[in-house]
Amino acid sequence: MLVRLNSSTSGEMIMFAEHARQLFEIIGKECTARGVFIKEQLPEAIARLHHAVEEEKKALHEAEHKARLEGVDEDEEQTDEGHQSGRVAVHLGQRATPLIHLMEWTQKEGGFILWEADKDF
Domain boundaries, the chain: 2-77+88-117
pLDDT tens-digit profile of 40-74? 999 999 999 999 999 999 999 998 888 888 886 55
Rg value, the chain, Cα? 17
CA distance 78 to 33: 36
Does 80 score more than 70 pLDDT? no
Q: Which CATH architecture has domain 2-77+88-117?
A: 3-Layer(aba) Sandwich (3.40)
Measured CA to CA in angstroms, residue 22 lies from 19, 48, 71 at distances of: 5, 12, 33
3-state SS track over the chain: CEEEEEECCCEEEEEEHHHHHHHHHHHCCCCCCEEEECCCCHHHHHHHHHHHHHHHHHHHHHHHHHHHHCCCCHHHHCCCHHHHCCCCCCCHHHHHHHHHHHHHHHHHCCCCEEEEECCCC
pTM for the complete prediction? Answer: 0.82
pLDDT of residue 67: 85
CB neighbours (10 Å) of residue 91? 13
